[in-house]
Amino acid sequence: MQERKTSQLSWLWLSAFIIVLDYLSKVWMTYWLDQTSIIPVFPCLNFILSHNFGAAFSFLGQADGWQRWFFSAISALVSVYLVRMLYRGGLNNWVACGIALILGGAIGNLYDRLSLGYVIDFIDFCIGYWHFATFNLADTAISIGAVIWIIASYKSGKK
């Protein structure tokens, strides 16, 4: 007889925290900055308000508007899949943490796409004159979550 795996939906608190933190940071930055402001924080970090109509690195940002719905659908499907993974359980806690971070970031950016038609970005990392793509806290959570998931999966032998 197979034992039922315990659901790990309790990790959704982390997703909810990321969603709220991302939303509040975007509201604050939208209030504090305009699209011409550049606020230096450190020599390699600025705050600058940007509206991203595309995906990562503004991929398809110049398309005719269909990309809003395309990326929204992808985010929604991925979010449902990630919740299902947490519901089914049996995950290493680090993997569950990574999934929760990715889920929170995906929903944070999905909210922007559906309500505004674009994603608000404001973190500008640079080295000299080279600037990385402008991003936000949701993007940061997705990136950290992906790294945690990959490392935890590798260490547990589940590739």
**Active-site positions?**
121, 139
Strand-pair category, 39-42 with 45-52? antiparallel
* Closest to 52 measured CA to CA, from 29, 39, 40, 68: 68
Measured from the Cβ of residue 39, the count of other Cβ atoms closer than 10 Å reads 14
DSSP 53: S
- Distance (Å, whole) CA 35 – CA 52: 12
